[in-house]
Each structure stands twice: as C-alpha cells, then as structure tokens.
A and B are shown apart, each in its own frame.
Chain A
Amino acid sequence: MKLLLVLSLSAIVATATSVSAGGHGGNPAVTARKAHMQLYQHNLMILGNMARGNTEYDTAAAQAAADNLVSLSTLSQAGYWIPGTTNAELGDETRLLPAVFEADSTARQIGADLAAASVALAAVAGTGPEAVGPALGPVGAACTACHRAYRVSDN
C-alpha cells in the first residue's frame, strides 16, 4: 500500500513538474508540497464523510484511507520543504510562510504529532464510523496547528 501511495505521489509530482518544465512556470518544491497536501485531503475526505454520515461506512475503504494517512505522514518530505520556496520568495505561488524554517519552528513536532494521530486513527478506522470521528480530531488539530502558524491565512 505504501509503495502504491509513493508511486501515486511520484506520478502527480512528475506530471506537475513536467508541466512546470514545459514553460508554465512553478516551483517544483511547491508542486510537490501541494500534491502531498492533496493526498492528505483526499484521504481525510473519505474518512470524514463516513464519520459525518455523508457516505456509507466501508470498513476496507476507511482502513485504507487511514493507512494512507500513516504513510503520508511518515514519508520523507525533506526534498520539497526547502528554504527559499516560501511566500516571501515566491509570492502568491505558495502560502507557506518563512517562519516554518526559522530556528524556533515547531513544524517537526507538528509533523510528529500528525504521524502519531494518524497511527491512532488507523488503529480504530476499521472498527466503525463512531470511532472514526473522534480519532479524526487529533489529526485535524495537527493540520490546523501547522496551517495556523505556517500558512498565509485565507480562512
């Protein structure tokens, strides 16, 4: 499963990067980060909609989505979270704030919190929709903590 996820992510990044290289502009690190975030978002949507009762609960799909979140949160992302690719240097292309790379940045800890919350979610995702909602809470809290501190606000 993790291999598939890595391949999916690589394909998205490769496609987007080739578009960028084809003259459409765009920083490859930003493209890769956005692809990574979209995969988080898609898997959260699967689980969240089941938790809210918007879609029917499916044990296998819920477990797969939660496992994907574990994989995504533990993948090495060092190649695309790099100084010089923030909103300060690239403007509207990215909403990443430079504070993420400063000495007192808490981004690594938030990443660790996200991974731990994802593991906890995966442990219960297959047990029923009632367990998914509460377990999504700490995952969302980690997302929000990072967006609060290191993303230009628009919500």
Chain B
Amino acid sequence: MAAMKKLLIIVAFGTIAALAAGLWITRPLTVNTEQVASLSGSAADGEWVFHLGSCASCHATPGGDKTVLAGGREFTTGFGTFVAPNISSSPAHGLGAWSQADFFNAMRHGTSPQGTHYFPAFPYASYTRMSDTDIANLWAYMATLPASDAPTQPHRLTFPFNLRATVGVWKALYLRTAFVGPGEDTERGRYLAEAIGHCAECHTPRSALGGLQNNRWMAGAPDPSGKGKVPGITPAQLDWSEADIAYYLETGFTPDFDSAGGGMAAVIEGTSRLPATDRAAIAAYVKALPPAQ
C-alpha cells in the first residue's frame, strides 16, 4: 500500500512537472525590448513592405478603402471561422496604443501585447523571417494609415482549436526562422517570397495540424477559401520562363494572357509596386525551387 501511495505521488509530480515543462516550452515568446526600441523605421520605406505583405487583403474591410485596416473579413477553415481583427491606427480598437516592441512580438513570435498566442491564420510563421529594418519600416508606415473604430469581432473556432494555449504546441512544431527554399544566387528573391510575400502560406500544402509541409514546398494546395485550388509553382507544375513570371508579377497576365484572380490578385497589387529587379529576383527564386509534388 505504501509503495502504491509512493508511486501515485511520483506519477502526480511527474505529470505536474511535465505539464509545467510543456507550458514553459510553448509559452508565448517576446523580443528583446531594448534592442527593438532603438530601431527607427521609415514610413516611406514601409509602404512597399505593406503592399507586398498583402496586409490590406485580409485586414481592410471587404469592398472598403484598402488603407483602412478595420478588419471584419471572415476566413472559413476546417478549424472554424477566423475574423480579421482591426489593425488600424485606432488606439482603442486597433494598434494605435501598441509599442514598436508589441508589433515586433506579433510579427516575430505571434505573441499579443497581452502575452497570448495569436492564431497562425495571421502568417507570422513567414513574417518571422523579416528583417528588423523591414518590420520597423512597416510599423512606421502603418502608423500613418487612418484609424477605424470598428470593434474587432471574435473568431468562431471549434474545440480544441479555440484554445490559444494549443497554438504554443503548433509553434513548437512549425514556427521556424530558417528559410526553406534555395538561397544560393536567389537570396533576395527567397527573402521577398518566403518572408514578406509569405507565398508558401497558400502555395504549400499543410498537415492535419495546419503546419506547412516543407518537403512539398510550393507544390500547390487547396485554396484557403475552400473553393478552388492554389497551384504549385515548382518546376514540376510551372514551366513559365523567368521573364514570364516577372511579367505576371508586374501585370497579372499569364503567358497566354489570362489574368490573375482570387487571392493572387491581391499579391499582384503588391508585386506590381516592386522594382523590376525585385520581381526578377522572385522569378529567379521560383525557377530555382526543387520540383515537388
């Protein structure tokens, strides 16, 4: 009996210790506040980051002014419905009361100012690769955009995906700062595509837990809207030339002069504003992707 009691105590302590370790490992992380505080972004240099990051495509009210990031757009997924939050400059309802460090925490670690996990519908798993300079510039630019007092609406997710603590496990499994695709001679294109442009978020298939399958990088996936598909863009699926890809990113025209639609139309809005050299860099990166199915 005494042995049984001792065993139970050991099991109980072991369970508590394992839970505590789990919570510690999956805790919301934050940046070094002092390091971030010294950064001073340029709003002018943040505009292209804003457009390439397609911030407005999720956070602008559907049909509304694309500079008013009032939120409200809904995304129906297998985990439930996500509702884009207000990220305008409103102090009461948007990011107006945030510090720059708060913004870095969100972009780098998916952590809110309240110290909770953001759901990865917000593509911080890609933005985490962004440079300090580009995040600071984006923050400076977003501060110049209009405020909206539209309250953020709650997500409507199914159990257990509505528990933010579960996102900590997701981050432990999938949140990595390392780049995935080829970078030799295509470093600039890889940065634009994998960090700011977050191309893989739509073009790469996901696991049952919603993590990107890196071994099928850019191989195509169901459209996040639930209707249609997002095509693969590795050489196994796409035989366009570099010039074709760069022209598509500039104009939205495919080589046979169909035009971009769906989510890619928003991407073109961003890439069309890039310098031609950056579009060429993305095209070179796409052509260098290893074929994947």
Contacts and interface: CB of A to CB of B under 8 A. Distances in A.
Interface of A: 41-42, 44-45, 48, 52, 87, 95, 97, 104, 106, 136-137, 140-141, 143-148, 151-155
B256 to A, nearest CB: 7
Interface stretch (B112-120, B137-145, B263-271): B263-271
Contacts of B256: 41, 45
Interface stretch (B96-104, B157-165, B211-219, B221-229): B221-229
A122 B172 CA distance: 56
Nearest to B269: A144
Contacts of B123: none
A153 B257 contact: no
B266 A154 contact: no
24 contacts: A41-B258, A48-B257, A140-B251, A140-B252, A143-B252, A144-B260, A146-B261, A147-B259, A147-B262, A147-B265, A148-B260, A148-B261, A151-B261, A152-B262, A153-B223, A153-B262, A153-B263, A154-B223, A154-B229, A154-B261, A154-B262, A155-B231, A155-B254, A155-B258
Contacts of A144: 252, 259-261, 265, 268
A140 B228 contact: no
B266 A140 contact: no
Given A140-B251, A140-B259, 6 more contacts: A41-B258, A136-B251, A143-B252, A148-B262, A151-B261, A154-B262
Contacts of B229: 153-154
Nearest to B223: A153
Contacts of B225: 153
B75 interface: no
Contacts of A106: 63
B274 to A, nearest CB: 15
B72 to A, nearest CB: 14
Contacts of B227: 87, 97, 152-153
B170 interface: no
A107 to B, nearest CB: 13
Contacts of B251: 48, 136-137, 140
A155 B262 contact: yes
Contacts of A42: 257
B66 to A, nearest CB: 12
B223 A52 contact: no
Interface in B90-143: none
A141 B268 CA distance: 10
Interface in B221-258: 223, 225, 227-231, 243, 247, 251-254, 256-258
Q: Identify the interface centre among B227, B228, B243, B262: most chain A CB within 10 Å of its CB.
A: B262
B261 A147 contact: yes
A97 B228 CA distance: 11
Nearest to A104: B63
A48 B258 CA distance: 11
Interface string B22-38: 00000000000000000
Contacts of B252: 140-141, 143-144
Contacts of B230: 153-154
Contacts of A97: 227
Contacts of B257: 41-42, 44-45, 48
A153 B208 CA distance: 22
A153 B63 contact: no
A96 to B, nearest CB: 11
A146 B223 CA distance: 18
A141 B259 CA distance: 9
Nearest to A41: B257
Contacts of A95: 228
Nearest to A37: B258
A144 B264 CA distance: 9
A10 B227 CA distance: 32
A148 B231 contact: no
Contacts of B265: 144-145, 147-148
**Top-8 shortest CB links A-B:** A153-B262, A147-B261, A148-B265, A143-B259, A45-B257, A153-B228, A44-B257, A152-B228
